[in-house]
Structure 1
Amino acid sequence: MTVYGLIDCNAFYCSCQRTFDAQLKQRPVVVLSNNDGCAIARTSEAKALGIKMGDAWHLLKNERKLAGVKWYSSNYPLYADMSRRVYQVLVEYVPKVEPYSIDEMFLDLTGLSGSLSDRCEIIRSRVEQITKIPTCVGWGASKTIAKLANYIAKDRPELEGLCDLTDDRIRERYYRNLPVSEIWGVGRRLVPRLNDVGIRTIEQFVNADPTQIRQIMTITGVRLQAELRGECCLQLSEMAEIRKGLACTRSFGRPITSFGEMREAIAGFAVRATEKLRAEKLDAGYVSVFIQTNPHKRSEGWYANQASITCAPTQDALTMINIVTRLLRKIWREGYRYTKGGVQLNDLAPSGRQSSLFGRPKEQTSALMEAMDAINSRYGRETVRPLATGTVRSWRPRQDMLSPRYTTEIGEIMEVMSF
């Protein structure tokens, strides 16, 4: 029988912060979104204080009852590297691992000898021992069941982080009591439609007429029904699908009012986007740039626009800077206070497609990009970068509570002092 598992890192961003500071072990910790805007990750201690996902930082920071909370700006380089470390532990214990998100990974547990409960407990313990990240593991006959089992493992402390839904009778008992909203893939928009036809629990969803489910959710809903019955419709993949597009967007730390500063910001987004392209060995053939003012302060003047162009497939940062600068000139309007901008790349495909006959030789640009990537990989992001991205960059997003990049920046690694 096929058995899939899902391992999920608990309060992942907060756990990454705790990994490098033992004093945070029992302290409430909250990680904030870009620009230190709102809560996007909370420990159980922070939740107990009433902090909700999406709560605005500027409304919380002066509350007396939250004086003991440790707040952090988002540290995405650290979180990505810690996710990589978790993955490296997992591949030592199971034959296949499929990253689903930065803090969730599917496991192929099919055919493994011994008790799966013992195996999953060993995996959890090993991950926590090496990375200091606590996890929960759920498993069952399909990926959808594994996802549900993981939710149950996390939701019920008496299970101690493990949930086995391979047994039909145990699975049916949970189905009878869990709302349909807990099914992987059933979003908030679908729940009212299912409720309207009398489908409120997972049991009712599984037993519903497939024709009715298809009318509401298309063929995807029928596949979910089959998955919840233990029929494996979603296979595990060790290779991620080639993405169709990628974006680099940011809210600025302060409004931008000059074209020069906006050009620097957009150039920086282009450089970061092409870094992602080269990391995944992709070229982009379609580029978009957008800028906008604050939608919540329309009294200051509202403006939003974007421009796009089809280009010769490229992953070269200097070429991309030229493209996005031309697009920005088309949409720039003086007299506005811009608070957000971004670069979107589409028509992505593996590198090597026919490129332009004009411009710098591809071998020359490739060598330059490889050298820049190698230096930044060794010494930290933006150690070397094009001058077009600016030098002062006072408009960058606020990160007033940023922790060190302990594992990705050589100047910020922890030091052990000997006496």
Structure 2
Amino acid sequence: MIGIVDCNSFYVSCERLFRPDLNDRPVGVLSNNDGCVIALSNELKALGITMGTPAHFLRDQVMHEGVTLFSSNYELYGDISQRVQAVLEEFSAGIDPYSIDECWVDFSGFSADQLEQHAHELRRRVKQYTGIPVSIGVAPTRTLAKVANRAAKKNASYEGVCVLYPNSPRAVELLQHFDLGDIWGIGRRLDEKLRQLGINTAWDLRRQNAKELRRRFSVTLERTVLELQETPAIEMMGMDFARERIMTSRSFGQLTEDKSEVRGAIRQHAQRSAEKLRKQGSLCRAVLVFLRTNPHRHDLDQYNPSQIIELDHATDDSRDIVAASMRVLERIYTTGFQYKKAGVMLMDIGDRSVEQLSLLDSARSDIERARSGRLMGVMDELNEKMGRNTVRLGSAATGAAWQLRCANRSPRFTTRWDEIPMAKL
């Protein structure tokens, strides 16, 4: 049996941890640059607000209905997520993180009479140890566990936990009333095509011939059908699998044509990409840099350049990657444009353990690689312990246009000493 643990309204729950006065009040969290709502409390949903609502549409609700809006505080959310995962790992046979607010949990070894009780106890411990409410769905396959999790979250009678045993009447009933479009992995276009065939519910899809659907659609749909039929067919790669490309990009807080500010953004993105590269134990041989203007500003000239540069040798050294990114920026940057976004992508990524050396490499090259590895290791260790960007290449550009707007960000209570919550007597 496999379970999926989903944190309820995770971003909102994190904000409420240190603001209990917001319990039972409408709360929302905004996207990067405070653009639109990306997380809503049940109280905010009850006001008719939906995901993606632009923030400026909510001014009246903020003033007259007591709505509280927060800027995204990803540093806080990431730390709380790790704490939730630590509890799950301690009280289960193993975990497989799926996203910042979801985690697969191995429930192997529990008998039928123990399983539901253990899931309820696990939910209670997560709430006690972290303060985050969760919903748990358990089933023989991941797709069915997703169905169970949705039921646990939507139906109060389950008290946050739904277990679908193989061939159980509960599983049949849920699937018969489970809308096709709510199935994990069924997108809008596929949903429309299947409905034309008379397939409208999860139960309808379960009764189909998996091989026939593979022939007509894809192997992905075949696996979904097998999973609904209680045959495991989907294996997760986990959060630490080696990515073939690493992208770091972000929209600016405001438009800018200042080259030094664009350079600062590229420098930061290049360093962050290099950190991700080292974390997965890889090296890259090429770097892509791109710039974007705002496509929605028809009154402004548009310019969206990008260019790839090959590196002299495979590397994970931030200095090499930043230097290469700066060379590309010099080639593609053009004055007279208002830039909205910039990014860096690392390409041609390979495993560090099977690095292919050049015939020109020498003993000196080995020494330089060893020094580079030690230096980058110290940088990563300091940034891990003391906070991101404690050690970086180049100076910090406080207030630069490319930095995110976050006018309503809460303190980073759990990761910054200078923002730790204070108790007043």
Letter in structure 2 aligned against 1:329: E
Instruction: Output the CA distance in 1 between the equivalents of 2:252 and 2:196.
Output: 43
Deviation at 1:378, TM superposition (A): 2.6
User: Deviation digits for residues 328-351 of structure 1, max 9, x if unmatched?
Assistant: 122212100001111112333333
Deviation at 1:310, TM superposition (A): 3.0
SS of the residue 1:307 aligns to = strand
User: Deviation digits for residues 140-168 of structure 1, max 9, x if unmatched?
Assistant: 11111111110111111222111121152
CA contact (8 A) 2:241 2:280 kept: no
What residue in structure 2 maps to residue 409 of structure 1?
416
Instruction: Output the CA distance in 2 between the equivalents of 1:76 and 1:67.
Output: 27
Instruction: Output the CA distance in 2 between the equivalents of 1:408 and 1:65.
Output: 32
What residue in structure 2 maps to residue 347 of structure 1?
348
What residue in structure 1 maps to residue 333 of structure 2?
332
What residue in structure 2 maps to residue 81 of structure 1?
79
Instruction: Output the CA distance in 2 between the equivalents of 1:270 and 1:84.
Output: 25
What residue in structure 2 maps to residue 160 of structure 1?
159
The 5-angstrom pairing of residues 62-211 of structure 1 reads: 62-63=60-61, 67-113=65-111, 114-168=113-167, 169-211=169-211
Instruction: Number of aligned residue pairs: give it.
Output: 416
Structure 1 residue 301 and structure 2 residue 301: aligned?
Answer: yes
CA contact (8 A) 2:136 2:161 kept: yes
What residue in structure 2 maps to residue 279 of structure 1?
279
Instruction: Output the CA distance in 2 between the equivalents of 1:378 and 1:415.
Output: 22
Letter in structure 2 aligned against 1:18: R
CA contact (8 A) 1:5 1:106 kept: yes
What residue in structure 2 maps to residue 398 of structure 1?
405
Deviation at 1:178, TM superposition (A): 1.4
Deviation at 1:85, TM superposition (A): 0.6
> TM-score if structure 2 supplies the norm length?
0.92
Superposition CA RMSD, Å: 2.1
Deviation at 1:376, TM superposition (A): 2.3
Letter in structure 1 aligned against 2:412: R
CA contact (8 A) 2:28 2:38 kept: yes
Q: Identify if the C-alpha distance between structure 1 residues 370 and 120 changes in structure 2 by more than 3 Å, giving closer, same or farther.
A: same
Instruction: Output the CA distance in 1 between the equivalents of 2:356 and 2:59.
Output: 54
Instruction: Output the CA distance in 2 between the equivalents of 1:328 and 1:365.
Output: 24
Letter in structure 2 aligned against 1:155: K
Instruction: Output the CA distance in 2 between the equivalents of 1:23 and 1:392.
Output: 31
CA contact (8 A) 2:252 2:401 kept: no
SS of the residue 1:361 aligns to = helix
Instruction: Output the CA distance in 2 between the equivalents of 1:32 and 1:184.
Output: 25
Letter in structure 2 aligned against 1:23: D
Identity value in percent = 37
Letter in structure 2 aligned against 1:199: I
Instruction: Output the CA distance in 2 between the equivalents of 1:217 and 1:389.
Output: 51
Q: Identify if the C-alpha distance between structure 1 residues 250 and 235 changes in structure 2 by more than 3 Å, giving closer, same or farther.
A: closer
Instruction: Output the CA distance in 2 between the equivalents of 1:193 and 1:123.
Output: 40
Instruction: Output the CA distance in 1 between the equivalents of 2:329 and 2:275.
Output: 20
Letter in structure 2 aligned against 1:190: L
User: Deviation digits for residues 216-273 of structure 1, max 9, x if unmatched?
Assistant: 4312211211111111223466674222222111111111202222111111111111
Structure 1 residue 320 and structure 2 residue 321: aligned?
Answer: yes
What residue in structure 2 maps to residue 22 of structure 1?
20
CA contact (8 A) 1:49 1:66 kept: no
Q: Identify if the C-alpha distance between structure 1 residues 100 and 280 changes in structure 2 by more than 3 Å, giving closer, same or farther.
A: same
Deviation at 1:395, TM superposition (A): 2.9
Q: Which moved more, 1:124-133 or 1:313-322?
A: 313-322
Instruction: Output the CA distance in 1 between the equivalents of 2:171 and 2:31.
Output: 37
Instruction: Output the CA distance in 1 between the equivalents of 2:398 and 2:75.
Output: 21
Instruction: Output the CA distance in 2 between the equivalents of 1:392 and 1:16.
Output: 26
Q: Which moved more, 1:304-313 or 1:119-128?
A: 304-313
Deviation at 1:207, TM superposition (A): 1.2
Q: Identify if the C-alpha distance between structure 1 residues 67 and 346 changes in structure 2 by more than 3 Å, giving closer, same or farther.
A: farther
Runs of 5+ unmatched residues, structure 1:
none
The 5-angstrom pairing of residues 384-395 of structure 1 reads: 384-387=391-394, 390=397, 392-395=399-402
CA contact (8 A) 1:288 1:345 kept: yes
User: Deviation digits for residues 173-196 of structure 1, max 9, x if unmatched?
Assistant: 111121111221111121011111
SS of the residue 1:300 aligns to = coil
SS of the residue 2:6 aligns to = strand
SS of the residue 1:367 aligns to = helix
SS of the residue 1:251 aligns to = strand
Instruction: Output the CA distance in 2 between the equivalents of 1:328 and 1:207.
Output: 55
Instruction: Output the CA distance in 2 between the equivalents of 1:64 and 1:320.
Output: 44
Q: Identify if the C-alpha distance between structure 1 residues 88 and 150 changes in structure 2 by more than 3 Å, giving closer, same or farther.
A: same
CA contact (8 A) 1:267 1:388 kept: no
What residue in structure 2 maps to residue 382 of structure 1?
389
CA contact (8 A) 2:28 2:39 kept: yes
> TM-score if structure 1 supplies the norm length?
0.93
Deviation at 1:381, TM superposition (A): 1.7
Q: Which moved more, 1:125-134 or 1:256-265?
A: 256-265
